[in-house]
């Protein structure tokens, strides 16, 4: 009877292959189809076989097969076999291991904590960027006030001190450029760290949504994704504006 069913299913698959979606490169093919392989809709963790729509039908109708665990189609189902018992990893009960679902839930909780920590690190770095920008604005204001004072003083001396005025302005601007370059370097480094943290956050979020227990555990272990990427401790980092006090009088020769 099983042979008759397989023959009937194969004939049915062959006659309707034009109506079904043929497996494309990168997609998981049906393990049962002969000839033209149709795209698998589900993989069975018990049978360790991927099925197309036609060959999946017994798992949806037969009461015994309905108890099998179906997941989205995946390749390399053989990697889910226990080498000692020659059974799917979730089935042996003599192993001295933590149940897969328990480890999955624990790992998912850990990923949630990691996600929260990464988000907190991102927020701290965004606040640091605001702090640096505010420091630059204050430095700009100081520079503007000092330049205005210099213009007022040197204008009264006309051409005799124009060269000194230009030197003064250039000196102040060079100091300000130094401050801005330092701030830009800090901001660039912070944005790079934020980019890396957001990338890790996306990876953690995608893994947290995974329903494939073993895939999640394997990815976390292989990539060490629970650990945030290496970052700098920004707690004591400050942009210290250049001091402009007394610059004008240095070029006037004051005090005598």
d(CA 185, CA 187): 5
Question: β-pairing, 49-51 with 42-44?
Answer: antiparallel
Give the whole-number percent of the chain exceeding pLDDT 70: 75
Residues 6+ away with beta carbon under 8 Å from 70: 42, 43, 44, 45, 56, 59
Give yes or no for residue 224 having a pLDDT over 60. Answer: yes
Chain-centroid distance, C-alpha 253:
58
Average pLDDT over residues 106-120: 92
Give yes or no for residue 254 having a pLDDT over 80. Answer: no
Residue 39 token pair: 């795209």
pLDDT band for position 3 (cuts 50, 70, 90)? very low
More confident residue, 27 or 154: 27
Residues 146, 244: contact at Cβ < 8 Å?
A: yes
Most confidently modeled of 43-47, 160-164, 238-242, 248-252? 43-47
d(CA 211, CA 188): 37
d(CA 28, CA 50): 8
Residues 150, 170: contact at Cβ < 8 Å?
A: no
């Amino acid at each position: 009877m099983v042979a008759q069913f397989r023959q009937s299913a194969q004939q049915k698959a062959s006659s309707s292959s034009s109506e079904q979606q043929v497996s494309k490169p990168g997609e998981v093919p049906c393990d049962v189809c002969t000839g033209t392989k149709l795209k698998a809709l589900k993989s069975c963790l018990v049978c360790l076989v991927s099925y197309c729509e036609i060959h999946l039908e017994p798992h949806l109708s037969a009461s015994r097969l309905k108890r099998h665990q179906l997941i989205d189609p995946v390749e390399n189902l053989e990697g889910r076999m226990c080498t000692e018992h020659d059974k799917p990893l979730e089935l042996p009960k003599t192993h001295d291991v933590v149940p897969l679902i328990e480890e999955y839930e624990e790992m998912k909780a850990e990923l949630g904590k990691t996600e929260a920590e990464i988000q907190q690190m991102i927020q701290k770095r965004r606040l640091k960027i605001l702090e640096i920008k505010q420091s630059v604005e204050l430095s700009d204001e100081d520079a503007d006030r000092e330049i205005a004072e210099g213009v007022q003083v040197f204008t009264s001396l006309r051409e005799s001190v124009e060269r000194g005025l230009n030197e003064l302005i250039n000196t102040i601007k060079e100091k300000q450029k130094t401050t801005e370059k330092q701030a830009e370097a800090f901001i660039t480094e912070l944005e790079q760290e934020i980019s890396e943290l957001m990338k890790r956050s996306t990876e953690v979020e995608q893994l947290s949504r995974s329903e494939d227990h073993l895939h999640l555990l394997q990815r976390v272990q292989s990539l060490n994704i629970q650990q945030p990427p290496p970052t700098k401790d920004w707690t004591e980092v400050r942009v210290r504006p250049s001091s402009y006090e007394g610059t004008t009088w240095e070029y006037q020769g004051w005090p005598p």
